[in-house]
Amino acid sequence: MWRSCGAGARAAVAHGLGRAPPTALCSVSPQDLAVPNTGWSAAMCEQFQRLLRRAADGSWRRIPSYRRGLDYLPEVVQMAVGVVTRPGPRLFLRSVDEEGAGFEYAIFLHASGHRTQCLCQLGPYLEGHHGFAHGGAIATLIDSTVGTCALAVAKASVMTAKLSISYLAPVPVGAVVVADSRMERHEGRKIFLSCHVRDTKRDTLYAEATALFIQVEDTKPPPAASL
Amino acid sequence: MWRSCGAGARAAVAHGLGRAPPTALCSVSPQDLAVPNTGWSAAMCEQFQRLLRRAADGSWRRIPSYRRGLDYLPEVVQMAVGVVTRPGPRLFLRSVDEEGAGFEYAIFLHASGHRTQCLCQLGPYLEGHHGFAHGGAIATLIDSTVGTCALAVAKASVMTAKLSISYLAPVPVGAVVVADSRMERHEGRKIFLSCHVRDTKRDTLYAEATALFIQVEDTKPPPAASL
């Protein structure tokens, strides 16, 4: 729903957009998870290498991905709010510890800043109907892909206002898919986007979606409800 | 995306609809997770008890919820396919082990079979923007709530065909919400539904959605793609 660059960091630093490498200011450097691990299938690794090769000329760029939303903030901001080492929240797509069990993904941003592609392996913990990914998992993948694109367009905090998804074919658990998102229109604070989720050979269109994101002012987030 | 009663079990047994208690046929009785645990907040427990009291007259019924999609199948079917003790897939909403960290929820079905209410506490592992639930988590909650309603209407396998969500207010991490879904129209194999997500006091409308589910023939699920 929300994507933010964080107070005092309104440039496109969230989701690793323009993010500087960790510095000595940070006591705990977040681990970039958008790289191969033992849970990645051969197909996932192959597609990842293909996208890296395509990015070699600078037309696309891989965006780092972290465990917690706060890890996307510049270290100096993390230090200021005193949350660098605090355990607790996790980015929804990174909620599963076991490599390969949940979302394994890497998002690539086009040099124009108006297009993102998310390579994603949907693990067995994302199941809905036996053998297939949950509709909510597909929605999560789409929301994250278009949200990252909207962030790059807005260069400021954005939030999902509308998300409409047509599910065209079930996605088998374990499948590797590509969610391809682009900005369609930018009107004031409104950013309209589209997204298509296909298999890596582009033989099957699993889902198509439209989204509206709103650029918002950075606000101090409220304390989480007590658990 | 998909909701199914499983081959040979087309009555409303999926998601615990009409589900019989485990029998001696089952070597491992699945644990019903739609009951309080140590991760439930006081607010969650209070609302759960309120809904249980409301259900006392038979107008509503709590639906059990399990870790794996296969746990929703009758034990005799589980035994037949030899998957009772096999580890692996998990229902997306039950992918997190830590009590209170992910989705904590219980779905109630109205006696008419045309309405469901899902009481849900959104844990810190469902975060998007710092302090707020991810848009994909809200979509997952909605898809599951309307999907359960569609199952009860169809009394057969259903799949999400379309899901359109308007995000009206961000949901703080840790919040307890109620997703209220109802069948709006039933035309042949098409089931049209609506859903509203509110806080428990009904002061805030967090999201509203429409969904189209399609009743499908039971098919043998394909093997999951190799990981």
> Is the CB of residue B69 less than 8 Å away from at least one CB of chain A?
yes
pLDDT at A227: 37
ipTM of the complex: 0.86
A16 band by pLDDT with thresholds 50, 70 and 90: very low
A97, A143, A203, A218: the active-site residue: A143
Beta-carbon count within 10 A of B175 CB: 23
Distance between CA A90 and CA A67 in Å, rounded? 6
- The runs of H, that is alpha helices, within chain B are 42-55, 75-81, 135-154
Give per-residue pLDDT as tens, B43-97: 999 999 999 999 999 999 999 999 988 787 777 666 666 554 455 899 999 999 9
A79 band by pLDDT with thresholds 50, 70 and 90: low
Whether residue B129 and residue A165 make contact (CB cut-off 8 A), yes or no, is: no
Q: Which residues share a beta bridge with B119?
A: B106, B178
Whether residue A135 and residue B125 make contact (CB cut-off 8 A), yes or no, is: no
A190: which 2 tokens? 């409104």
* Among the four given CATH numbers 3.10.129.10, 2.40.128.110, 3.40.50.2300, 3.40.1050.10, the one describing domain B2-215: 3.10.129.10
Question: Catalytic site residue A32?
Answer: no
Mean pLDDT of A136-156: 97
A2: which 2 tokens? 């929300």
A29: which 2 tokens? 């450097």
Does residue A214 contact residue A189 with C-beta atoms inside 8 Å?
yes
Distance between CA B58 and CA B139 in Å, rounded? 29
Whether residue B125 and residue A226 make contact (CB cut-off 8 A), yes or no, is: no
Percent of chain A with pLDDT over 90: 70
Whether residue A135 and residue B101 make contact (CB cut-off 8 A), yes or no, is: no
pLDDT at A78: 66
Whether residue A125 and residue B6 make contact (CB cut-off 8 A), yes or no, is: no
> Is the CB of residue B160 less than 8 Å away from at least one CB of chain A?
yes
> Is the CB of residue B130 less than 8 Å away from at least one CB of chain A?
yes
Give per-residue pLDDT as tens, A149-184: 999 999 999 999 999 999 999 999 999 999 999 999
B28 band by pLDDT with thresholds 50, 70 and 90: low
User: Which residues 72-111 of A are in CB contact (within 8 Å) with B?
Assistant: 73, 88-93, 95-96, 100-102
**Structural domain spans, chain B:** 2-215
Give per-residue pLDDT as tens, B137-154: 999 999 999 999 999 999
Number of H helices and number of E strands within chain B? 3, 8
Residue B111, min C-alpha distance to chain A (Å):
24
Give chain B's radius of gyration (CA, Å): 17
pLDDT at A41: 98
Sign of the C-alpha dihedral computed for residues A158, A163, B139 and B78 taken in this order: negative
pLDDT at B68: 86
Domain A31-66+92-215 belongs to what architecture? Roll (3.10)
B144: which 2 tokens? 């599951």
